Every structure is written in C-alpha cells, then in structure tokens.
C-alpha cells in the first residue's frame, strides 16, 4: 500500500541527462549497492547510515514494511542505478511538526550514489524532473518539499537550480535543515 500513488509506477521521465525512472528498492537484491553508497564518506556525512549493511537494511525495512507514507526507490538513468530516493508524505511525517505543512505536501530525499555522478549538475536535473512528475501525478499536492542539511551546500544549490526556494531553516532532532519548497504555482516576487 502506498499513500503516494505508486512513484515507481510513474514511468520514464525524459531529461537532458537521459531517461530517468524510479524503481522500487528490493531487498536483499539492492542492499549491497545501497550500503556501499551509504559508506561513501561524502554521503555518510549527511545520511548517517554508514556501517554494516544491516544499518542500511533497517532503514529501508522501516519504509518497506511501513504504512506507505515513504517509498524508497533507486533512481535509474538510462537503466543504470545512479541515485537513491525517498518520496514521502511530508504532511504525515514528523517533519510536519516543524513547518506549516499543507495536506498532501510531498517530500523528497536524494543521494547521488556513484561519485562520478556528483558535482556536474545531475542532481538539479533529476530533482526538477521528479518534482514536475510529482506535481503532475499527484493533483492534490501543491508543494514538493525537502530538508537537506544546511551544511550540505551542494545539495541546497541543486534544489535551488531545480526550482525549489529556501523558505527557512529548521532545527530538526538530527540536523539544522534548509526547508526547500517547490510550489505548483510559481513564486511571485
């Protein structure tokens, strides 16, 4: 069951970087790949899931066996796994206690796995593509939100280049976060 209208079923999304699609995380098949990414020092600094594969597995199982409010996915670019995503109902998440959540706000977490995928604008391309797809496929969703660690400047910049706007900084239990929002209706200045 998913409270998110089946993100892996949303199909291929053409992007300037290639064909992008979400694929459901499958355990144990995807565990070694994801645990390897979580142990990359650049990723571990912000995801805090480094260590043995069972640390990553516990994190994934909580979502896979949960109520459908968060869906873990591999991001495939031209068929190759290049990213890990969590698409979640931000309005039903503990995050909603820290910002003025609206019904059906949809959140995204992203990590680019292979080191060669980072630092060349791919994150912004994929974030923009997925935000557009979320807003198209979830008509009751008015905003896509994210809360990267404020210290992760590369991530914050990727969200900004993908059309998200910094709303505020939040003190969350595990980090100081930049609340990034991409609204269905363009921001008026």
Encode pLDDT of 81-102 as tens digits: 999 999 999 999 999 999 999 9
Q: How confident is the model at residue 1 (pLDDT cuts 50, 70, 90)?
A: very low
Mean pLDDT of the chain: 94
- Lateral strand order in the sheet of 70-77: 13-15, 18-24, 70-77, 80-89, 106-112, 143-146, 175-183, 165-172
Residue 174 phi, psi (nearest 5): -115, 0
State the pLDDT at residue 4. 81
In this structure, the number of other CB atoms found within 10 A of the CB of residue 140 comes to: 9
Contact 104, 138 (CB under 8 A): yes
Residue-wise pLDDT for 41-56, tens only, equals: 999 999 999 999 999 9
Q: What is the DSSP letter of 130?
A: H
């Amino acid at each position: 069951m998913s409270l998110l209208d089946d993100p892996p079923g949303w199909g291929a999304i053409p992007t300037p970087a290639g064909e992008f699609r979400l694929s459901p995380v499958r355990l144990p098949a995807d565990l070694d790949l994801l645990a390897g990414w979580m142990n990359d020092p650049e990723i571990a600094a912000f995801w805090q899931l480094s260590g043995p594969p069972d640390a990553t597995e516990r994190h994934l199982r909580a979502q896979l066996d949960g109520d459908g409010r968060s869906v873990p996915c591999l991001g495939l670019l031209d068929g190759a796994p290049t990213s890990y995503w969590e698409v979640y109902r931000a309005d039903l998440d503990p995050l909603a206690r820290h910002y003025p959540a609206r019904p059906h706000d949809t959140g995204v977490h992203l990590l680019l796995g292979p080191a060669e995928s980072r630092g060349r604008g791919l994150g912004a391309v994929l974030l923009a593509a997925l935000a557009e797809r979320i807003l198209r496929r979830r008509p009751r969703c008015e905003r896509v939100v994210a809360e990267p660690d404020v210290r992760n400047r590369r991530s914050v910049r990727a969200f900004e280049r993908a059309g998200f706007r910094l709303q505020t900084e939040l003190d969350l239990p595990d980090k100081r976060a930049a609340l990034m929002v991409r609204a269905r209706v363009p921001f008026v200045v």
